[in-house]
Amino acid sequence: MIFLLFCGCSDEGLELKVVSAPEFLTNISEIRTSKIILVNIWSTWCQPCIEEFPYVVGLEKKYDAKDLDVIFFSVDWDAQEQEAITFLKNHQVMGQHYRKREGDDQLFINTFSIEWTGAIPFTALYGQNGELAAQWEGKRSESYFYAKIDSLLTLYGS
């Protein structure tokens, strides 16, 4: 887990930093400590996001910290910030996570992926060279997440 390295909304070991997509991608490339970074884009009002959330949280317990870092990126609006923090805390999510700065959805979406249509949840896996190694939108099963991560780790010789 990437711990508190930035200023932001800190709450008992959890920080929800408000950023644009370009700022976020610069940040994670600078502070990465694992082979794979999984970014899950979600919101508190998105039912499929909430349904897959528990097993996405659980991924970090299943993998070595050197192999996988899971980052949650909320697209909740400013008015829902506390709701997002409460939701993360209720799922025992700690450390540095992010929330989208309001405005310019198009830049946000296209910075993550030109292929992404904008539907959430959206998940991206960044490989050890910082490349976007896999991406999908919509809810997926727990086994699907494992399969994608395991394939990448195999590729990297883990």
Partner 1 sequence: MKKSIIIIILSFMTVLIARELALGKVMPKVNVSLQDVSGGLFTLEKLMDKNGLLVIFSCNTCPWVIRWQDRYNPIAKLCLENDIGFVAVNSNNSQHDGVDSYKAMVEHAQEYNYQFPYVVDKKAELAVAFGATKTPHVYLFNKHNKLVYRGAIDDNAKNADKVGESYLVNAVNAVALGEEIKVKKTKALGCSIKF
Among 132, 142, 146, 158, which residue interacts with partner 1 (rule: CB under 8 A)?
132
- The answer to whether residues 71 and 38 touch, using CB atoms and an 8 Å cutoff, is yes
Q: Supply 85's token pair.
A: 């923090």
Query: Residue 20 has which token pair?
Result: 């644009």
φ, ψ dihedrals at 74, nearest 5°: -80, 140
Q: Which is nearer to partner 1, 13 or 138 (CB)?
A: 138
Report how far residue 68's alpha carbon sits from residue 38's, in angstroms, rounded to the nearest whole number: 7
Q: Does the protein bind partner 1 through residue 110 (CB under 8 A)? A: yes
Per-residue CA distances from 155 to 26, 116, 127 (Å): 24, 24, 10
Stretch of 26-34, 61-69, 85-93, 147-155 contacting partner 1, by CB under 8 A: 147-155
SS3 of residue 142 by DSSP: helix
Instruction: Select from 30-38, 63-71, 88-96, 134-142 the region that touches partner 1 (CB under 8 A).
Output: 134-142
Burial 4-42 (b: 16+ CB within 10 A, else e): eeeebeeeeebbbbbbbbeebbebbeeeeebbbbbbbbb
Q: Which of residues 41-100 bind partner 1 (CB under 8 A)?
A: 45-48, 75, 77
Among positions 2-41, residues that touch partner 1 (CB under 8 A) are: none
Tell me: does residue 117 bind partner 1 (CB under 8 A): yes
**Interacting residue with partner 1 among 116, 126, 145, 153 (CB under 8 A):** 116
Using rule CB under 8 A, residue 152 touches partner 1: yes
- When the beta carbons of 14 and 56 are compared against partner 1, the nearer one is 56
Q: Which residues bind partner 1 (CB under 8 A)?
A: 45-48, 75, 77, 102-106, 108-110, 113, 115-121, 127, 129, 131-139, 148, 151-152, 155
